[in-house]
Amino acid sequence: MKSYKVLLPTVLFAALLFTSVKPIYAQSASRANQKETSQKFAAALFYIENFYVDTTNAPKLVEDAIVNMLKELDPHSAYISKDDLDAANEPLEGSFEGIGVTFQLLRDTILVVAPVPGGPSDKLGIQAGDKIIKINGEDAFGKKVNNKYVMDKLRGEKGTTVDVSIYRNKKPTLIDYTIVRDKIPLNSIDATFMLDDEVGYIKLNRFSKTSMEEFHSSMEELKKDGMKDLILDLRGNSGGYLNVAVELSDQFLSDGKLIVYTEGVRSPRQDFTATNQGDFEKGQLIVLINEGSASASEIVSGAVQDWDRGIVMGRRSFGKGLVQRPFQLPDGSVIRLTSARYFTPTGRCIQRPYDGGTEDYYKDLFERQEKGELVNADSIHFPDSLKYKTAGNRTVYGGGGIMPDIFVPVDTLHLTEYYSNLVRKGVFNRYTIDFANDNRISIKKDYQTTAAFTKNFAVDQKMMDDFLSVAKREGVDMDEEQFKRSEEFIKYQIKALIARNIWDIESYYEVMAANDETLQEAIKLMHKRSIFSEVIHPE
């Protein structure tokens, strides 16, 4: 177990936090006022329950009051009911209990996209492309089938069983399985592969309890393949545990360097510093971020940037610099209360203003689009009062996310309204799932690996004609001009989704890498080694 030079009496986290700790009440001279306020709330509830003209639901009134109180504080303090706690906690715990399949709903039918390797369904021989027609003897298709229905029916406690009847392509009868539920891992790393002979790539989707174990496995794999330099993709990563962000940052920074510190009015400053156990302190590093990168992602990219350890590339991050701490209420529900702000090594607080309220706060991305920020870095302006200097004397700014060292605009050429309609109407999923089911055996025979598929498989004209026929059937009107702009991107999406349906999510990223403008630019920079000194140590 790795130890840090500064230990907190209780662990603080940067984003979605769902485990409980006992409340710690500050000693202060305002105890009398606190008591009066508590009594005031209790008295109001008493009068409502005993004198209101109609029947009331006291638990709901209290719950609504808590929710609205927290809304008055900041956009990230939140209430989680006891019933919702497990589901809310699941992504960061890194596992759930169930049958172990990734699924999609296709025409009101449960389609197995892939069994989780080593999970109960995989061990029984359930395959990608199978359709679950019956669950415990009852029909499991039609309008009643939605995500909640599937979760309720297929998830359950480890050791319990569920009977399913599966339709497999070209089999005359349904295949019956009795599946014993088990603990199923939720991976936080979507992809690990080599982009060329020297550059490795890791796509991290969240900072969960299992992230560092996964990261070390990924690094071991990449180093065996000859990796010298690393691209860490945090685009769209909305955060997770603070201590995991600290440990990941530690992999890149040398002993004793400050990674992040937290501080609040009732939370004394706590410093988190790097140890001498970093796994990648020397090679060239590029961190990819965008407007969906938040919280723990910003801790890592902020530490890398402030110490001039690598290049941060992409678009301005979300801007969440608040730390939530969970407190359990008597009925088992939890409030996640913002207890501190976190600051990057230079002292930057990257939290966006939220004075206008929660609704305005979450409209920020739309406003960035309206102002042209996603396509033009010159539209972003920071006040001089938020100016800071990195270890190498470069200027960086606080007050609203991490601004990348190298800006890459969003791809507006290919992302047309026609393409958006194809996505919205589910055309990509319908076509690629059917194609994968019909051609699974031949594709796996012709392409032994995803690398071979990525290099040699091509979406031909017949496939495009069939795809456009599906689009027409689903009500997507053809726009010739927009189609021509999006055509190449559409082909990559089709190819990548076929790969995902036949292999796994990693194969999707392998295929899309060639059409990922930000990633391709990062690869070029890796090989232009002078760029690191030009960006990080300018004259």
Whether 26 has a pLDDT exceeding 80, the answer reads no
Q: Are residues 208 and 289 in the same domain?
A: yes
Those residues with Cβ within 8 angstroms of residue 387's Cβ, 6 or more apart along the chain or in another chain: 395, 396, 397
CATH number of the domain where residue 128 is located: 2.30.42.10
Identify the burial level of 339 via C-beta atoms within 10 angstroms of its C-beta, where 0-12 means exposed, 13-18 middle and 19 or more buried: buried
**What is the predicted pLDDT for the residue at 370?**
83
Query: Residue holding tokens 């001279």?
Result: 29
Lowest-pLDDT range of 120-129, 266-275, 496-505: 120-129
**Residue 55 domain flag:** no
Whether 538 has a pLDDT exceeding 80, the answer reads no
Q: Are residues 171 and 284 in the same domain?
A: no
**Residue 352 domain flag:** yes
Those residues with Cβ within 8 angstroms of residue 415's Cβ, 6 or more apart along the chain or in another chain: 486, 489
**Residue 491 domain flag:** yes
Q: Are residues 469 and 447 in the same domain?
A: yes
**Backbone φ and ψ of 4, nearest 5°:** -115, 155
pLDDT tens digits for range 312-336: 999 999 999 999 999 999 999 999 9
Those residues with Cβ within 8 angstroms of residue 375's Cβ, 6 or more apart along the chain or in another chain: 409, 410, 412
Identify the burial level of 272 via C-beta atoms within 10 angstroms of its C-beta, where 0-12 means exposed, 13-18 middle and 19 or more buried: buried
Catalytic residue among 208, 297, 324, 333: 324
Catalytic residue among 295, 301, 317, 507: 295
- Among the listed residues 403, 407, 400, 408, the one whose alpha carbon sits nearest the alpha carbon of residue 390: 403
Catalytic residue among 131, 153, 203, 320: 320
Q: How many residues does the chain have?
A: 539
Q: Are residues 386 and 465 in the same domain?
A: no
Whether 402 has a pLDDT exceeding 70, the answer reads yes
Is 297 known to be catalytic? Answer: no
Is 324 known to be catalytic? Answer: yes
Q: Are residues 247 and 309 in the same domain?
A: yes
Is 295 known to be catalytic? Answer: yes
* Type of residue found at 520: Q
Q: Give 183's strand partners.
A: 97
- Among the listed residues 300, 186, 283, the one whose alpha carbon sits nearest the alpha carbon of residue 235: 300
Q: Are residues 178 and 100 in the same domain?
A: yes
Q: Are residues 389 and 445 in the same domain?
A: no
Q: 537 pLDDT band (50/70/90 cuts)?
A: low
CATH number of the domain where residue 346 is located: 3.90.226.10
Q: Are residues 351 and 475 in the same domain?
A: no
Q: 15 pLDDT band (50/70/90 cuts)?
A: very low
pLDDT tens digits for range 452-476: 999 999 999 999 999 999 999 999 9
- Among the listed residues 264, 244, 363, the one whose alpha carbon sits nearest the alpha carbon of residue 323: 264
Cβ contact 302:399 at 8 Å: no
Whether 503 has a pLDDT exceeding 50, the answer reads yes
Count of domains in the chain?
Answer: 3
Q: 17 pLDDT band (50/70/90 cuts)?
A: very low
Four-residue CA torsion sign, 372, 373, 377, 383: positive
**Residue 239 domain flag:** yes
**What is the predicted pLDDT for the residue at 4?**
36
Q: Are residues 163 and 294 in the same domain?
A: no
